[in-house]
Amino acid sequence: MKEISCKLLVIGAGPGGYVCAIRAGQLGVDTVIVEAGKPGGTCLNVGCIPSKALIHAAEEFEKVSHMVGGNSPLGISVTAPVLDLARTVAWKDGIVSRLNSGVAGLLKKAGVKTVQGWATFRDGKTVAVETETGVQVIRAETIVTATGSAPVELPFLPFGDTVISSTEALALSEVPKKLAVVGGGYIGLELGTAFAKMGAEVTVVEALPRVLAQYDAELTRPVVKRLAALGIEVMTGAKAKGTKGGALLVETSDGKNAKVAADKILVTVGRKPVTEGWGLDQIDLDMAGKFIRIDDQCRTSMRGIFAIGDITGEPMLAHRAMAQGEMVAEIVAGHKRSWDKRSIPAVCFTDPELVTAGLSPEEAKAHGGEIKIGMFPFAANGRAMTKLGEDGFVRVVARADNHLVLGIQAVGQGASELSAAFGLALEMGARLEDIAGTIHAHPTQGEGFQEAALKALGHALHI
C-alpha cells in the first residue's frame, strides 16, 4: 500500500480529534485522521449523546406515568404508559447514526483524509495503520494523539454476562427488574436514575461517604433527595466484593456482608486513558501518572507530538478536548494560541441537573482572601415553578474586595442550559455588578443567575 505523507496526522476521531482535524483542514493544513471505530468517539457513539437520549426517554416516561389516574397537578390524565426499550434504543441509535454521518461529512468538507483502522507508532513521525486491506504507513510532520478513555474494569467484577459497563447499559433491549450500580459518580447516577424512572429497582453502591463526592454537599442535596423519592437505595461507605448466585456481594459501612439481588450490575467507577495498544513504547513520552504529560499548549515531551483529550488528564470532558483540539490545529497552522481551563463548565445530567464552572466556595476560600456568596433558590423563580422544577438554586462565588466572579454553580431542572452563561461570565472576567446589571429575560430560570449576583451584592429583588 502506497505510503501517505501529510503535515498533520490526528490519531482518534473523538470530539478532540475530529475538531482538531476539521479546524486544521479549514486552515489549509494537509491533514489525515485515523479512527478504528466510527467518527465521534466514545462521546458520540457510547457516551454523552446516547446516554442523554436514554435519560430524556426515561424523563418522558416518568412524566406520563405520574399522569395516570388524573394525579397530575397539570390536570392531565392518561392510561398506564408502556415502554418499549428496544424502540427507544433504536431511536437513540438513529440519532447517533445521523451525527456519525455529520462528523464524516464535516471532515470531508474540510479536506481531511480519513483512514479507517488501528494506528500504531513506529517512531515519532511514522504510524502504521491496520486497515481492512492491509497496513497503511503514514508519515507526518506533526502528530496529535487523541485516543480517549475507556471504562475502568474491576478485577473482581470483570465485564461480561450480568456485569456491564455504560456501553452495554446503553444498548439493553429491556429494562432490568433489579439493577445494581457500583459507583455513585455522575455516570452511575445518571444511568441509575434513568433506569429507575423506567421501572427498574435500583441500588447504588458507593465506597465513599457520599455520592457525587466531587461536588459539595449543599449542591448535591437536591439530587440525593430525588434519589430517595425515586426509590433508589443508596449504600454509602460500602464496597462491592464480587458476585454470587445472581447477586452483588457488598461489604457495608459497618463491616458486615450483604447481598444485593441484581439482574444486571452496572460498574461505573471511572474511566482510564487509552495509552496502550498504539505503540507508546516505541516513542518516549513523559507521563503524569497514568496520563500523558503536556504543557499549556498540549505539547508532549517529544517535539512534533501533541496530546489532547482524556489521555491528558482531568477534567475528562468532551468540550475540554474540543477546545484543546481547536487550539492545537491553530498552533500547527502557525497561529499564536493558548487556553485557560478555569472557565470550563461541567454538567451532571442527574435529576435535578448539576452544573459547575470555576471555583466552589471551599476552593475559593482555600485560595485565600475574603469571598462573597450569593444563592437564589428556584422555589422563588416563576419559570421553575411553572415547570414543576422548584427544587434547586443558583450560587455565585466572588472575591469580596473587587467582586470578581470566581465560580458559579447550579442545581435544578434544566440547569445544564445555564452552563454557557456561567462559562462566558468567567471567561470575560465578569464582576457581580456585570451579572446583576445584565437584563435577563423574564420568565426564565436564567433570572436566578442575576438574582444570585444581586444577593451577593446585598440587594436581591425577589427573595
Catalytic: 459? Answer: no
In DSSP terms, which residues pair with 15 in a beta bridge? none
Closest CA to 425 of 403, 442, 405, 409: 405
> What are the grid coordinates assigned to 82, written together?
408502556
Q: Parallel, antiparallel, or unpaired for β 163-164 and 113-116?
A: unpaired
In DSSP terms, which residues pair with 395 in a beta bridge? 375, 409
Output phi, psi for 338, to 5 deg: -150, 175
Do residues 137 and 5 touch, judged by C-beta distance below 8 A?
no
Do residues 263 and 176 touch, judged by C-beta distance below 8 A?
yes
Dump strand ranges (E) for 154-290.
Answer: 163-164, 178-182, 201-206, 233-236, 239-244, 247-251, 257-261, 264-267, 271-273, 287-288
For 229, residues 6+ apart whose C-beta sits below 8 A from its C-beta are none
Output phi, psi for 173, to 5 deg: -95, -10
Residue found under cell 456501553: 167
DSSP label of 306: E
Q: Annotated catalytic residue: which of 319, 367, 403, 442?
A: 442
CA angle 235, 240, 244 (to 5 degrees): 115
Rg from Cα positions in the chain: 24
> What are the grid coordinates assigned to 55, written together?
435519560
Strands ordered across the beta sheet of 201-206: 163-164, 264-267, 178-182, 201-206, 233-236
Peptide bond into 443 cis (omega under 30): yes
Residue found under cell 497496513: 135
Do residues 163 and 179 touch, judged by C-beta distance below 8 A?
no
Within its chain, how far is the Cα of 389 from the centroid? 23
The catalytic site residues sit at 442
